[in-house]
Structure 1
Amino acid sequence: MANKEIDAQGYELEVVGQCKTNTRPNSQFTQQVEARHLWSYAQEEALVAVSEQGNGKCWHLITDPERRAKRIAARYADLYFASGEKSQGKLQLYWPALAAFVVKDIVEAYRYSRDEVLNGGWRNAMRTSFAPQVVAQLFTDGSPYEHSLRVYAALAKGNLWLFMDIYPWLWYVLEYGLNKDGSLNAERLTSHVSQRNAEEFQDQSKSAVKELPFGANWLGRLKGRMANDPVYAKASSYFDAAPAWGGMEAGYGQHLGSAYAAHRYVKQHIKEYDNGYHTPLSNYWPKFEEAFYVMDEERRELKRVADDSAATARLQKVAQFKVTGEMETTYRTLIEEYGVKPAAKFALQKSELNIIAAQEQINILQPLIYADPKLIKTMDVNHFISRASLGALSPTYTLYFSAAPRNDDPNRKITFDPATGPLDYFTGRKGSLPNPQDRMKYVGQIAEKFNNLMARNRAYMDRELQTIRGWLNA
């Protein structure tokens, strides 16, 4: 049974087991810790990365997906730098550098959803300023709120659970694959890579993983909260006195008055019933002009997600965190990379990037989010609109190699399925990002652009990554 100790700062430490020592000065004893415990520590590190301590000094998950994303981007950048520092340049994790830029763009995607779509405004007015049933009649592909919330939730789910899978694999290399003097413990990496299994984690770590957002337990609580939401019930009651809606008939003014009252009530009271279950977090909602309509769409989307038992089963399979062929190959590649000459090292780093990209996109994100038919439709609609409007009505799927949300240098960005000429803007999309073949083709293009920048302008890339690394306490 674990014993409890208190460190100098007053934090409670958990000590696994006990060991005896002797009284001889400077004596040492090497304790062989089982791989399953080391993997539990690695998972705990991922959990701590997206958590913060409350007044009781217990760790609590950061409920805001946007803040979590900034922490995740910073942790990836930190892996890139810390591995090079600890190994004295003999081994530097490479995929995390690219991942830091990708997650930085996810932070911007969240902001766009809030400020440019969910806040309302003239671009959405024609499709959202009527009662939701009228929107459904007029626009069978769904309102901007529906599409925006769907992407927001998918990003929140995919970003968190990808981090829970990938980060411990790579942190393990940094923490247990590299010795204190920077030398490589290849035997440990080779023998331990196959021993990661969530069911063998320490109890607290195992329980914490099971309570994370979009897991079965969290979704169960979400259903209960939505069923008993007093803010939604009260806001809905403002429509009770209004006459039945019949399109553009009499009663339009009363409906607008009821809607205004409902929006105002939601904005004033939404923070009273949240605790991290709203998407986005309730702190952002007072700026939403049509907050009740957003809430109405949010409830439909989250109920759809909570009722999707097949998606939940796929997440539970991912959450076992068992070894894949890609991660075994990654470990072999990293062992081979250690200490080789720069040209050979860079070639192996590029291989590392491609292998982990397959783990990321095919083994994790494909079952987690891209198998959702509704999300596929939403992303394809967004892509069609962005292509036809040159990004004016919906942003293109573009990765920017900068710490800033965007940059104007064509050599420091890359767009998915760009139009190739004037007529091509109107002939429709040629690719679908949720499609694994189309997405992996784009990932290959991203990797090529990234590799060129890292080879020719490493000083610039490192400066931008250091900026992102500075978000560790965001």
Structure 2
Amino acid sequence: MADGATIEAMTNDRPDSCVEVHCGCPTLWSMAQQFCYTRLSNKKNNGAYRLINLYPARARRISATYARMYLETEEHGVPEKKGRYYWMALGAFASKTVACTLETLQLSYTRPVMGTTVREGLGQGNFWLFMDIAAWHWFYSVSPTSFDQCVGERNTDTYVDQVKQQIKKLPWEAKSLPKIDHLKVKPEVAEGFALVRQIEGMPDNRKRQNLQLRHLMAMACHEQGNILQKLIYNDPDFAWWIKVQRDDDHELRQTSGYPTRAFALAASIFSPELQITFTSQCGTSESQLKNPAPKETKLEEYDSRMLWITSVADQFHNRMIKFKGQMESELAAIAGWVGTHDGVVYPDEHPPQ
């Protein structure tokens, strides 16, 4: 994929001079989308990009980008404003969980029985959530003023032609973009970034911390309700396999008449444990560093899932207040995954730095 959002302008021969370039909202949103794409791609020697194929590698690069945005070490970051992108810190741990789930041998054991439904669903949800949420943050970092002017104009159908055509080639595009309204702004996003603007101008005190948690929950409601629920949890096949993994035999028999108790139990035994850990590692034995989903959680149901996510957010927030140095050290480790290798490494390609 070549860069289709390049802007050309006439230059001069005066050293250290500037040339003013005016970009419309569709062009700026196209550039934000290109950032998301190139982060999950390797750059070829001819200047084109190739989207990496390995789903866990994509998830680790996504985690790294979220961590870098929180830490303000991503391009256009402002270190003195660290903490304004609070959801990104939790998002880094969450995407790491997706990577670990995709990597685990337990998921491989279920593949002959479960097919690729869960793997594809996790890959699709994580990919398009990143395409949505990372672009909002990248654009705001580039120019908060332009962001305010353009926030209501994001729409993949209005991107510059080259980027519009490129997006049509992305995985799951045809069935994903209509479900998530072509990445148009939602009230939760507007609320989240209104809080970002307040947070970035405040000292690190209790009031700022309260606003950070409000921001986190606004963005969590967006990613869970507007993106993931519509992309994967509303899918009957994906939801059915989630019930199988939960070993919800009674509910399965009510909705489909099968599988047998033994089938559901076998699938649940080999399924990855559903939990968030606040480390750069996949697992931990320290209870204070993890939050497993309660047994009664129905992951496919938004309200049930949000009860658990609210608990995760509260635990995360408490640790960010009391153990910020430790938490940010884990995030710094995750930020180092930005160039995670694909399953196949070609000699003419270079991962992000």
**Could you say which TM-score interval applies, normalised by the shorter chain?**
0.7 to 0.9
What CA distance in whole angstroms lies between the structure 2 residues aligned with 1:148 and 1:438?
Answer: 26
Residue 76 of structure 1 is matched in structure 2 by 66
What CA distance in whole angstroms lies between the structure 2 residues aligned with 1:117 and 1:396?
Answer: 10
Residue 446 of structure 1 is matched in structure 2 by 312
Confirm or deny that 1:402 pairs with 2:279.
yes
Q: Which residue, out of 119, 122, 126, partners 1:155?
A: 122
Asked whether the equivalents of residues 90 and 340 of structure 1 are also in contact (C-alpha less than 8 Å), the reply is no
Deviation of 1:14 (Å): 6.8
SS in 2 for 1:441: helix
Residue 473 of structure 1 is matched in structure 2 by 339
What CA distance in whole angstroms lies between the structure 2 residues aligned with 1:144 and 1:90?
Answer: 44
Q: Which residue, out of 103, 112, 115, partners 1:111?
A: 103
Superposition pairs for residues 290-439 of structure 1, below 5 Å? Answer: 312=175, 315-318=177-180, 320-343=182-205, 344-384=207-247, 393-418=270-295, 430-439=296-305
TM-score (norm 1): 0.63
Q: Which residue, out of 186, 193, 211, partners 2:151?
A: 193
Deviation of 1:190 (Å): 2.1
Deviation of 1:378 (Å): 1.1
Rate the CA distance shift 1:34–1:168 in 2: closer, same or farther, 3 A: same
Asked whether the equivalents of residues 91 and 339 of structure 1 are also in contact (C-alpha less than 8 Å), the reply is no
Rate the CA distance shift 1:86–1:15 in 2: closer, same or farther, 3 A: closer
What CA distance in whole angstroms lies between the structure 2 residues aligned with 1:360 and 1:406?
Answer: 24
Deviation of 1:88 (Å): 3.9
Q: Which runs of 5+ in 2 are unaligned?
A: 249-263, 341-353
Deviation of 1:317 (Å): 4.1
Deviation of 1:191 (Å): 1.8
SS in 1 for 2:299: coil
Asked whether the equivalents of residues 177 and 183 of structure 2 are also in contact (C-alpha less than 8 Å), the reply is no
Rate the CA distance shift 1:26–1:47 in 2: closer, same or farther, 3 A: closer
Q: Which residue, out of 187, 209, 214, partners 2:167?
A: 209
Residue 16 of structure 1 is matched in structure 2 by 7
**Which deviations, in whole Å up to 9, do the C-alpha atoms of 1:122-156 show, x marking residues without a partner?**
xxxxxxxxxxxxxxxxxxxxx76343621111001
Superposition pairs for residues 88-167 of structure 1, below 5 Å? Answer: 88-92=79-83, 93-112=85-104, 115-118=105-108, 145-147=112-114, 149-167=116-134
Deviation of 1:24 (Å): 5.9
RMSD of aligned alpha carbons = 2.7
Deviation of 1:102 (Å): 0.8
Asked whether the equivalents of residues 36 and 196 of structure 1 are also in contact (C-alpha less than 8 Å), the reply is yes
Deviation of 1:20 (Å): 5.4
Rate the CA distance shift 1:212–1:26 in 2: closer, same or farther, 3 A: closer
Aligned residues: 321
Confirm or deny that 1:87 pairs with 2:78.
yes
Deviation of 1:157 (Å): 0.6
What CA distance in whole angstroms lies between the structure 1 residues aligned with 2:310 and 2:194?
Answer: 21
Deviation of 1:160 (Å): 0.5
SS in 1 for 2:143: helix
Amino acid at match of 2:165: S
Residue 26 of structure 2 is matched in structure 1 by 36
Rate the CA distance shift 1:325–1:374 in 2: closer, same or farther, 3 A: same
What CA distance in whole angstroms lies between the structure 2 residues aligned with 1:144 and 1:101?
Answer: 25
Deviation of 1:393 (Å): 4.1
What CA distance in whole angstroms lies between the structure 2 residues aligned with 1:447 and 1:208?
Answer: 35
**Which deviations, in whole Å up to 9, do the C-alpha atoms of 1:251-295 show, x marking residues without a partner?**
xxxxxxxxxxxxxxxxxxxxxxxxxxxxxxxxxxxxxxxxxxxxx
**Which deviations, in whole Å up to 9, do the C-alpha atoms of 1:181-224 show, x marking residues without a partner?**
xxxxxx333222112121221222211211111123xxxxxxxx
Asked whether the equivalents of residues 77 and 97 of structure 1 are also in contact (C-alpha less than 8 Å), the reply is yes
What percentage of aligned pairs have identical amino acids?
28
Rate the CA distance shift 1:470–1:353 in 2: closer, same or farther, 3 A: same
Of the structure 1 ranges 335-344 and 403-412, higher mean CA displacement relative to structure 2 is found in 335-344
Deviation of 1:29 (Å): 4.3
Deviation of 1:345 (Å): 2.1
Higher relative contact order (CA 8 A, sep 6+): 2
What CA distance in whole angstroms lies between the structure 1 residues aligned with 2:290 and 2:4?
Answer: 45
Deviation of 1:44 (Å): 0.3
Asked whether the equivalents of residues 4 and 163 of structure 2 are also in contact (C-alpha less than 8 Å), the reply is no
SS in 2 for 1:470: helix
Asked whether the equivalents of residues 83 and 91 of structure 1 are also in contact (C-alpha less than 8 Å), the reply is no
Deviation of 1:176 (Å): 2.1
Deviation of 1:375 (Å): 1.5
Asked whether the equivalents of residues 70 and 82 of structure 2 are also in contact (C-alpha less than 8 Å), the reply is no
TM-score (norm 2): 0.83
Rate the CA distance shift 1:364–1:376 in 2: closer, same or farther, 3 A: same
**Which deviations, in whole Å up to 9, do the C-alpha atoms of 1:392-438 show, x marking residues without a partner?**
543321111111110011111111124xxxxxxxxxxx331110110
**Which deviations, in whole Å up to 9, do the C-alpha atoms of 1:62-98 show, x marking residues without a partner?**
1111111111111111111126994342353111111
Residue 265 of structure 1 is matched in structure 2 by none
SS in 1 for 2:178: helix
What CA distance in whole angstroms lies between the structure 1 residues aligned with 2:190 and 2:92?
Answer: 23
What CA distance in whole angstroms lies between the structure 2 residues aligned with 1:42 and 1:193?
Answer: 12
Residue 221 of structure 1 is matched in structure 2 by none
What CA distance in whole angstroms lies between the structure 2 residues aligned with 1:346 and 1:361?
Answer: 22
Asked whether the equivalents of residues 108 and 405 of structure 1 are also in contact (C-alpha less than 8 Å), the reply is yes
Deviation of 1:355 (Å): 0.6
Asked whether the equivalents of residues 5 and 31 of structure 2 are also in contact (C-alpha less than 8 Å), the reply is no
What CA distance in whole angstroms lies between the structure 1 residues aligned with 2:107 and 2:186?
Answer: 39
